[in-house]
Amino acid sequence: MYSKLCFERLVENYSCKFSKNNQQYPSIVLVYGVYLNSKRSAMNTSQNYFWDNFRPLKTSVLCGVVWGISLGIVIFFPSLHAVLALGWILLAFESLTSFKLARYCAFAGKIGMMCAIFSYGGDFLKHHYASFTSVSGHTLHWTSYGIYFAMILGSLSGFILAKRTSMTSLPQLMALFHGLVGLGAASISVVLAKIHIQTLCVIPLSVFIEILSGGVIGAITCTGSVFAVLRLQNIIRYRPSLKIFLGMFFLALGASLASAGWFIQVPSIVSLIVSIVVSSSLGVLMILPVAGADMPLVISLLNSCSGWACVSLGLYANHPLLVVVGSIVWFSGGVLTFVMCKGMNRSLMRVFTGSFYQQSQAKATVMLPVQSISGEEAAFFLKSAERVVIIPGYGAAVAQAQRPLQELALLLKANHCDVKYGIHPVAGRMPGHMDILLAQANVSLEDMLELEEANRQLPDTDVVLIIGANDTVNPAAEKDPSVEIYGMPIFQTYRAKKVLFIKRSMNPGYSGIDNPLCYLQNTYMVFGDGKKVCEDILKAFSLL
Residue 142 — pLDDT band, cuts 50, 70, 90? low
Number of domains in the chain: 3
What local confidence, expressed as pLDDT, does residue 17 receive? 40
Same domain, yes or no: 172 and 207: yes
pLDDT at 96 over 90: no
Q: What is the pLDDT of residues 43-66, one digit of tens each?
A: 443 344 444 444 555 566 666 777
What local confidence, expressed as pLDDT, does residue 143 receive? 59
What local confidence, expressed as pLDDT, does residue 457 receive? 92
Average pLDDT in the 426-442 region? 76
Query: Rounded to an integer, what distance in angstroms lies between the CA atom of residue 423 and that of residue 22?
Result: 26
Same domain, yes or no: 344 and 226: yes
Using an 8 Å Cβ cutoff, are 302 and 221 in contact? Answer: yes
Q: What is the pLDDT of residues 33-45, one digit of tens each?
A: 333 333 433 444 3
pLDDT at 365 over 50: no
Same domain, yes or no: 390 and 334: no
Query: Rounded to an integer, what distance in angstroms lies between the CA atom of residue 314 and that of residue 205?
Result: 17
- In a domain? residue 486: yes
- In a domain? residue 98: no
Same domain, yes or no: 461 and 352: no
pTM: 0.70
Residues whose CB is less than 8 angstroms from the CB of residue 6 and which lie 6 or more positions away in sequence, other chains included: 411, 414, 415
Instruction: Report which of residues 39 and 338 the model is more confident about.
Output: 338
Same domain, yes or no: 386 and 274: no
Same domain, yes or no: 339 and 399: no
Average pLDDT in the 5-24 region? 40
- In a domain? residue 72: no
Same domain, yes or no: 242 and 347: yes
Using an 8 Å Cβ cutoff, are 249 and 255 in contact? Answer: no
Q: For residue 396, give the CATH number of its domain.
A: 3.40.50.1220
For 502, phi and psi rounded to 5 degrees? -90, 120
What local confidence, expressed as pLDDT, does residue 200 receive? 63
Same domain, yes or no: 310 and 390: no
Same domain, yes or no: 179 and 313: yes
Full domain range(s) for residue 18: 4-53
Exposure string over 14-49, b if 16+ CB within 10 A, otherwise e: bbeebbeeeeebebebbebbbebbeeeeeeeeeeee
- In a domain? residue 200: yes
What local confidence, expressed as pLDDT, does residue 358 receive? 54
What local confidence, expressed as pLDDT, does residue 479 receive? 85
Query: Catalytic: which of 294, 471, 514, 536?
Result: 471
Same domain, yes or no: 280 and 404: no
Q: What is the pLDDT of residues 473-521, one digit of tens each?
A: 999 888 888 777 788 888 999 999 999 999 988 888 777 788 899 999 9
Residue where a domain terminates, one of 330, 357, 384: 357
Mean pLDDT is lowest, of 52-56, 195-199, 335-339, 459-463, for 52-56
Please name which of 135, 144, 313 lies closest in space to residue 213, comparing C-alpha atoms: 313
Same domain, yes or no: 413 and 297: no
52 flagged as catalytic:
no
pLDDT at 251 over 70: yes
- In a domain? residue 368: no
Instruction: Report which of residues 206 and 59 the model is more confident about.
Output: 206
- In a domain? residue 456: yes
Same domain, yes or no: 440 and 498: yes
- In a domain? residue 414: yes
Average pLDDT in the 379-390 region? 91
